[in-house]
């Protein structure tokens, strides 16, 4: 995701500096060019050689090091940078940045950068909550820097409270949001549904399906990284919710229907990836049903069809993408679903195909619209989500252009009649 991007990783003098090596590794694995810039005190907690071994680049510490290719390396580096993240950011470094002080390689470089800047405070709770530190953080935010809220837990000093640097994988997501994708969804409100629903039989048992939520969660994540305002309505899964999205947890099909329809009118795009139960027990026992006889029958009733409701109640300009999991006649069944539900696109896959289906990290999707079918190769679910979004935006642009042309044609005909 970060191929061709230059990321400056600033490391200041705190015990959390050891975590920064793992962050550097994640950035390198994402194919970023990572340049570590350390303060002098950071070198007391972790050796520059550690970062040099991970990144393959010399760690910068001294502003006036004559061995640099450029005599003003901080300026040259600032011009190349696509994003800066300072992790950990001590109270001292935060104070310097808040007041424009530049007395070492890290602060001079950051001061010269015009790219997105991410600050990850890490310090004692009382230092973090000190009004002076809080004022400095607010000042950084007013300058357009993103300050990551520290985690709460046991600190190196033995205290417990806010001040822990978030884990490297969390900070990595902030870097991705800053520069990994074009922000072509900025200003768009997107609703994504994900995961299974559970329909109660009695207090012990329920009816569900094999959905893990991976496809929907991937779609929500990529939407957010591309700048959208995302709401994720999700059934119960074992996944951690993606960052930067509003999460609405539900359990049953009715709860998902209520949550979706409560906000659907606000949405520009709806991606309905959840596996919603088509049927539920007609009655739910208040007590555990005991075994009796060799067989038992559970009477079922239909649940409300969320996708059909959305198609019938859509507002003008709204794009709706449904999903279709099939075991046979995938194209025919999915095209019927597209027409019956009055939606714009169906992302279809076949459970029998290798690399597709529930619980996998990959998917093989065919995108079906009224114009035809586009078969995608086997992709990771995040890559598949990106391709689905590309096609959604393409279809929305074409629809807008078509409507504009029709209006112009109507205006011309009206002028001729007059």
Q: Cis peptide leading into 409, omega within 30 of 0? A: no
Q: Which CATH architecture has domain 6-179?
A: 3-Layer(aba) Sandwich (3.40)
152 forms beta bridges with 162
CB atoms within 10 A of CB 169: 12
Catalytic member of 59, 113, 115, 157: 157
Cross-strand partners of 31: none
pLDDT in tens, the chain (418 residues): 899 999 999 999 999 999 999 999 999 999 999 999 999 999 999 999 999 999 999 999 876 655 555 456 678 888 999 999 999 999 999 999 999 999 999 999 999 999 999 999 999 999 999 999 999 999 999 999 999 999 988 887 777 888 899 999 999 999 999 999 999 999 999 999 999 999 999 999 999 999 999 999 999 999 999 999 999 999 999 999 999 999 999 999 999 999 999 999 999 999 999 999 999 999 999 999 998 888 889 999 999 999 999 999 999 999 999 999 998 999 999 999 999 999 999 999 988 888 887 888 999 999 999 999 999 999 999 999 999 999 999 999 998 888 888 777 777 676 666 5
The two three-digit tokens of residue 289, written as one number = 């049903």
DSSP for 347-363, written as a single string: EEEETTSTT-STT-SEE
CB–CB of 383/350 below 8 Å? no
Closest CA to 94 of 86, 105, 103: 86
**Same CATH fold, 189-403 and 6-179?**
yes
pLDDT at 27: 98
State the Cα–Cα distance between residues 256 and 237, nearest whole angstrom: 14
The label of the residue with tokens 């003098």 reads 13
Q: What is the pLDDT of residue 68?
A: 53
Query: Which candidate, 341, 346, 323, places its Cα nearest to that of 395?
Result: 346
The closest of 355, 337, 354 to 346, measured between CA atoms, is: 337
| Three-state SS at 181 | coil
128: left (phi over 0), alpha (psi -120 to 50) or beta: alpha
pLDDT score recorded for residue 356: 85
Burial of 127 (0-12, 13-18, 19+ CB in 10 A): middle
Instruction: Give yes or no for a cis peptide into 88 (omega within 30° of 0).
Output: yes
113 classed as catalytic: no
The span from the CA of 198 to the CA of 251, in Å, is 6
Per-residue b/e over 140-151, b at no fewer than 16 CB within 10 Å?
beeeebbbbebe
If we measure between CA atoms, which residue out of 149, 146, 86 comes closest to residue 116?
146
Q: Give the class (CATH, top level) of 189-403.
A: alpha beta
Name the residue ranges covered by the structural domains of the chain: 6-179, 189-403
Question: What DSSP character marks residue 165?
Answer: P
pLDDT of residue 70: 47
Q: How far apart are CA 410 and CA 412, in angstroms?
A: 5
Nearest Cα to Cα of residue 257 among 311, 216, 310, 212? 310
**Both tokens assigned to 418:** 């007059």
Distance of CA 278 to the CA centre of its chain: 29
Compute the distance between CA of residue 222 and CA of residue 228 in angstroms, rounded to an integer.
Answer: 9
Q: From CA 393, how far away is CA 407, in angstroms rounded?
A: 21
Three-state secondary-structure class, residue 151: strand
276 vs 170: CA distance, rounded Å: 30
Element counts in the chain: helices (H) and strands (E):
13, 21
Residue recorded with tokens 């602060």? 107
């Amino acid at each position: 995701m970060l191929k061709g991007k230059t990321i400056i990783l600033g490391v200041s003098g705190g015990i959390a500096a050891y975590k920064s090596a793992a962050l550097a590794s994640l950035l390198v694995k994402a194919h970023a060019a990572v340049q570590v810039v350390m303060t002098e005190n950071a070198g007391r907690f972790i050796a520059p050689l550690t970062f040099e071994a991970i990144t393959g680049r010399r760690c910068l510490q001294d502003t006036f090091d004559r061995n640099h290719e450029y005599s003003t390396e901080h300026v040259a580096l600032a011009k190349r940078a696509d994003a800066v993240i300072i992790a950990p950011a001590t109270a001292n470094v935060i104070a310097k940045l808040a007041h424009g002080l530049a007395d070492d390689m890290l602060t001079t470089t950051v001061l010269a950068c015009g790219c997105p800047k991410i600050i990850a405070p890490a310090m004692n709770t009382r230092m973090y909550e000190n009004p002076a530190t809080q004022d400095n953080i607010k000042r950084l935010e007013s300058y357009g820097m993103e300050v990551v809220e520290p985690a709460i837990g046991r600190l190196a000093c033995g205290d417990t409270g806010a001040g822990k640097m978030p884990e490297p994988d969390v900070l990595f997501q902030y870097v991705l949001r800053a520069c990994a994708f074009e922000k072509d969804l900025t200003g768009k409100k997107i609703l994504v549904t994900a995961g299974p629903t559970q329909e109660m039989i009695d207090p012990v048992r329920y009816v569900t399906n094999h959905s893990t939520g991976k496809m929907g969660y991937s779609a929500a994540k990529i939407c957010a990284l591309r700048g959208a305002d995302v709401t994720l309505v999700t059934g119960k899964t074992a996944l951690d919710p993606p960052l930067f999205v509003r999460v609405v947890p539900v359990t049953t099909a009715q709860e998902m229907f209520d949550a979706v329809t409560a906000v659907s009118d606000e949405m520009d795009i709806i991606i309905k990836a959840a596996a919603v139960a088509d049927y539920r027990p007609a009655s739910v026992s208040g007590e555990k049903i005991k075994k009796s006889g060799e067989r038992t029958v559970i009477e079922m009733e239909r649940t409300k069809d969320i996708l059909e409701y959305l198609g019938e109640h859509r507002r003008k300009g709204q794009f709706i993408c449904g999903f279709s999991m099939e075991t046979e006649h995938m194209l025919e069944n999915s095209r019927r679903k597209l027409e019956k539900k009055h939606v714009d696109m169906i992302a279809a896959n076949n459970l029998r195909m290798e690399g597709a289906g529930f619980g996998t990290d990959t998917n093989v999707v065919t995108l079906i619209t009224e114009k035809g079918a586009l078969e995608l190769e086997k992709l990771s679910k995040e890559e598949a989500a990106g391709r689905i979004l590309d096609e959604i935006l393409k279809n929305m642009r074409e629809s807008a252009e078509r409507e504009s042309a029709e209006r112009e044609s109507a205006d011309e005909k009206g002028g001729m009649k007059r």
